Structure 1
Amino acid sequence: MNLDNHKNLITDNGFTVINNIFSDEEIEKISEVIQHIDISKETFRKSEDLFAIRQFLKEIPEVSELIFNENIRTIIKEIFGGKYFVVKSIYFDKPEKSNWYVAYHQDLTISVDKKIELPNFRSWTTKQNQFAVQPPLDILENIFTIRIHLDDTDENNGALKVVPKSHTKGIYRPEAIDWSIETERICNIQSGGIMIMKPLTLHGSNRTTDGRRRRVIHIEFSDMELPQDLKWSEKLN
Structure 2
Amino acid sequence: MSMMELKQLDQLGYVLLEDIYSTGEMQSLAQVIAARLAQIVNTSALRSRGELYGSRNLVDTVPEIVALGLDQRLMGFLQAVLGGNFGLVRALYFDKPPNRTWSLPWHRDETIAVQRNDLGGTYFTKPTMKGGVAHVVAPPSLLSKMLTLRIHIDAMTDENGPLSVIPGSHRLTEANLSAPDPVTIHAWQGDVMAMRPLLSHSSCASRPGTLQHRRIVHLEYAASPDLPDGYAWHTYLSLHSLNQ
- SS of the residue 2:217 aligns to: strand
Residue of structure 2 in register with 1:80 after alignment: 82
8 A contact 1:26–1:66 mirrored in 2 = no
Question: Across the two proteins, how many residue pairs are aligned to each other?
Answer: 231
Residue of structure 2 in register with 1:43 after alignment: 44
- 2:206 counterpart of 1:208: yes
8 A contact 1:91–1:215 mirrored in 2 = yes
8 A contact 1:161–1:205 mirrored in 2 = yes
Q: Aligned-pair distance for 1:111? A: 0.8
Q: Aligned-pair distance for 1:79? A: 3.2
* Counterpart pick for 1:127 among 99, 122, 130: 130
Q: Deviations over 1:150-195 (max 9, x none)?
A: 001022211110000110024x26xx643xx411101101110010
Q: Aligned-pair distance for 1:67? A: 4.5
Residue of structure 2 in register with 1:231 after alignment: 232
TM value normalised by structure 1: 0.91
Residue of structure 1 in register with 2:148 after alignment: 145
Q: Aligned-pair distance for 1:68? A: 3.3
Whole-angstrom CA distance in 1 between matches of 2:122 and 2:132: 22
- SS of the residue 1:74 aligns to: helix
Whole-angstrom CA distance in 1 between matches of 2:128 and 2:69: 29
Amino acid at match of 2:198: L
Whole-angstrom CA distance in 2 between matches of 1:138 and 1:79: 16
Whole-angstrom CA distance in 1 between matches of 2:72 and 2:189: 17
8 A contact 2:69–2:88 mirrored in 1 = no
Q: CA RMSD in A?
A: 1.8
Whole-angstrom CA distance in 2 between matches of 1:112 and 1:190: 33
Alpha carbons of 1:23 and 1:67: their partners in 2 closer, same or farther (altered >3 Å)? farther
Structure 2 counterparts to residues 55-204 of structure 1, below 5 A: 55-114=57-116, 115-170=118-173, 172=174, 177-178=177-178, 181-204=179-202
Alpha carbons of 1:79 and 1:137: their partners in 2 closer, same or farther (altered >3 Å)? closer
8 A contact 2:166–2:177 mirrored in 1 = no
TM value normalised by structure 2: 0.88
Residue of structure 1 in register with 2:242 after alignment: none
Q: Which runs of 4+ in 1 moved over 4 A?
A: none
Q: Deviations over 1:3-25 (max 9, x none)?
A: 21111111100001111000112
Amino acid at match of 1:28: Q
Residue of structure 1 in register with 2:241 after alignment: none
Amino acid at match of 1:46: R
